Amino acid sequence: MNELREAAAPAGTDLLDERSRELADHCAAMAGRLRAIGMRLDQDPDVITEFLHEPEVRFPVQGMLPPEYRSVGEFPARLVEASSTVLGQVVATEQVSYGDPNVLLASPGPSLSGGAVQALADEQQRKRYFGRLTSSPTHTFFALTEPGKGSAATELETTLTPAPGGGWLLNGVKCYIGNGARAQLGVVFCRRAPGPWGIEAVLLDTSAPGFSGELLPSVGLRGARISRLRFQDVTVADEDVLGAQRSPSRRGLYGATYILYRFRPGIAAMAIGCAQAACDYLVTHRPTLPRRDRHRLDSVLDRIAAVRHRTYAVARDIDAGVVDVAGIGAVKARAARVAEDATRLVAELLGPACLIEHPWVEKTYRDVRAFDLMEGTTNLHAMSVFQRLLRDRAAPQPVTERAVDGAARH
């Protein structure tokens, strides 16, 4: 359903090769259906189960699965393969989110936890995890954030202690975990010992005694089903500790940061897709704008094009093995901000009572605010950008210490 958008390729896509453009077009054609499903999810996020057979819901998950677990013959293999890189995920996610980001977030599938399993797990753990995901629709979660510490991986307080009869006991609380309360399987980051290398990632079946999940009422992006999770003496078997065969420096914390860096551009892509969709919606419903207002819209479109270009660039670099931490955080933060600014401008220029008369605008206006706080707030990423600025342009030592002291985490 391409009538939602302009025919020309969006500005800022010059880094895409032919296959990536084909992937973008394939996903763009899903936008209309995804938008309709997204409106239903805003009313009741659990209705996703009614749509699990639809190709628009099934395709975006395929590229997150290892090749041997993908659906055979259902989708063009070259497009599924194209969507399995970080750049491919970004391209697909932007177009899918142009339709509606809630569908992707509400869908069963590997989410970030699948990335952790791919990065850390041994063969048996991979088989158990992905085998279960492909045998029946399975929601998963990635539990890092804690109530008092946010997503600061090195400061987490959930504990993993030896159980009297062997194995481990998991205790603690996680907060704002996507799909946590409705998942059947997840990865929990926890502390086995002091220090950064004392962090572990464990696979958890949510039917385990001592696990409980509670949905949190979010303002928007309800498909994410953010939750608070509690672990009270949850038994964890040795074989559920991910990557136990690896050295401590190559498992828990390594897995968390590896995944966050790889998935963060995807959050930027969601924000970009929503921002572009909001601007296109305005143009459709108010094609003639006064010159001053057209300038304001064009200014937002300039920013969308710029952050799209930069997001594609950092994603391409990650695929090439170059992880620019500050650059990744910067595109996420800037995309979140432009999405918020775009929806606010659209709500203003559509006129009085548009947040009542245009329900999709009201929903998107709420949804995009989530992108600022997903995977680290803007302040956190701003400090990372600042530290790189110092490294690149100033005498590093004394000032860097101030920068670290001034860093904020939410």
Partner 1 sequence: MKPAPPASPQSAGTPYPLVLDTLHGRVAPGRLVASPTGHVLASTVALPDAPAGPLTRFGLAVAEATPESAFGEGPAADRFAVALLTAHRELLDATLTHTLRHLEGRTSGSTTLLAKQLVAGQLADIALRLAEDTAVPEARRHAGRDARWRSHLRLVDIGRDLLRLLGASGFLADGPAGDLHLAEVVGNVYLHADTEDADE
Q: If you search the block for the tokens 């038994």, which residue do you land on?
A: 235
- Report which DSSP code applies to 25: H
Question: Is residue 153 within 8 Å of 199, Cβ to Cβ?
Answer: yes
Q: CB-side exposure of 177: number of CA atoms within 13 Å?
A: 29
Q: How far is the CB of 349 from partner 1 (least distance, A)?
A: 7
What is the x/- site pattern for partner 1, positions 205-234, by CB under 8 A?
-----------xxxxx-----x--------
Strands 159-162 and 168-177: antiparallel
Smaller CB separation from partner 1, 88 or 178: 178
Q: Cα separation of 346 and 343, whole Å?
A: 5
Smaller CB separation from partner 1, 11 or 382: 382
Q: How far is the CB of 391 from partner 1 (least distance, A)?
A: 18
Q: Cα separation of 403 and 393, whole Å?
A: 14
Question: Is residue 350 within 8 Å of 295, Cβ to Cβ?
Answer: no
Q: How far is the CB of 281 from partner 1 (least distance, A)?
A: 15
Site for partner 1 in 59-118 (CB under 8 A): none
Give the interface segment with partner 1, choosing from 134-142, 252-260, 275-283, 363-371 (CB under 8 A). 363-371
Site for partner 1 in 319-358 (CB under 8 A): 340, 344, 347-349, 351-356
- What is each CA distance from 257 to 75, 149, 251, 286, 334, in whole angstroms? 31, 16, 10, 44, 20
Site for partner 1 in 148-177 (CB under 8 A): 148-150, 152, 155, 175-176
Site for partner 1 in 289-318 (CB under 8 A): 289-290, 292-293
Smaller CB separation from partner 1, 134 or 379: 379
- What is each CA distance from 80 to 73, 95, 129, in whole angstroms? 11, 15, 20
Question: Is residue 342 within 8 Å of 279, Cβ to Cβ?
Answer: yes
Interaction of residue 194 with partner 1, rule CB under 8 A: no
Q: Give the binding site for partner 1 (CB under 8 A).
A: 42-43, 145, 148-150, 152, 155, 175-176, 216-220, 226, 286, 288-290, 292-293, 340, 344, 347-349, 351-356, 359, 362-363, 366, 369-370, 372-373, 377-379, 382-383, 405-410
